[in-house]
Amino acid sequence: MSRQQELALSPGGRLRQLLATGKTLICPGVYDGFSARMALTVGFECLYMTGAGVSMSRIGMPDIGLVTQTEMVDTAGMIANIDPKTPLIADADTGYGTAVNVARTVERYITVGVAGFHLEDQVVTKRCGHLNGKECVGLSEYLSRIKAAVETRERRKSDIVIIARTDSLATHGLDEALYRLKEAVKVGADVVFLEAITTKAQLETYCDAFRGTGVATLYNRVQGSHGYKITPKEAEQYGLGIMLYPASCLVPAYTGITSALQKLRMGVEEERSERVAPLEIFRVCGMDEIQEREQGVNDWARAFKKDSE
């Protein structure tokens, strides 16, 4: 494929192309422009916008269903367009209401350039998938959300990737959770996402249930949680299509910033801060590209002025 053809691919098309390789797609959890810029600089092929991260960074609140659709869409659009060639998978929570709200959420995600999103079966006042006290809606309501997303995608002639997530493993058990995911695939979901897997047996059963079906499986590797821990290499062996690391930026930010602030409070400057010049950070955030564009505009203006004289 030529560079031109690659650039012509839609966000969803680029994500589908990555999934078609059969390799596990490792996606770091980003939540603002700075974390996204750092992940892009390191060279990840796909990013994941974590709802928990957006909730904490944008409104300073825990992930218990308080962040709004507007805040999620605005953040997703900003991240997705820093480098449109790198697809972004975004958390869409419950869709933020009824099936009508789901349709609007999907419509807006398509518009701002999101490549894929996951939609879950918790009640609207949801909680982080790794907290206790979760509640799930009935199967028909869950499927109505997936169906609304699929119909919106068809109406918009989009290829955005729809990821069906279920949190029912904790509330209804493994058999019901797998049944829900299979039913979601029947109504048009592209990828399945079993949240909060805690044992090797659960993971193996989940992967076996969809092996050879053409449906990609997603694993959410939440660092510090009670979830079953596997490495990227093991994810490949299980045949997982996507592996999310939602806390990959949150945890270092929390530990690093807290440590630096505690030292500053005691009157001690953080030594590592002296080793990073402001220009280095500006470059991560696109300073070189901006200066190149600025230089190009200035060169054009000088040439135009000379030709006009």
pLDDT in tens, the chain (309 residues): 555 565 468 999 999 999 999 999 999 999 999 999 999 999 999 999 999 999 999 999 998 889 999 999 999 999 999 999 999 999 999 999 999 999 999 999 999 999 999 999 999 878 776 767 789 999 999 999 999 999 999 999 999 999 999 999 999 999 999 999 999 999 999 999 999 999 999 999 999 999 999 999 999 999 888 899 999 999 999 999 999 999 999 999 999 999 999 999 999 987 777 788 888 888 988 888 889 888 887 888 888 777 777
Query: Taking Cα atoms as reference points, which of 188, 194, 120, 201 lies closest to residue 152?
Result: 188
Other CB atoms within 10 A of residue 85 CB: 11
SS3 165: strand
Task: Please tell me the distance from the alpha carbon of residue 295 to that of residue 283, in angstroms, as a whole number.
Answer: 16
The number of residues in the chain equals 309
Domains in the chain: boundaries: 3-255, 276-309
Instruction: Write out the catalytic residue numbers.
Output: 48, 63, 91, 93, 118, 120, 128, 165, 195, 220
pLDDT, residue 234, reads: 97
CATH code of domain 3-255: 3.20.20.60
**pTM for the full predicted model:** 0.92
Pairing state between β 47-49 and 25-30:
parallel
Amino acid in position 57: S
Distance between CA atoms of residues 103 and 244, nearest Å: 24
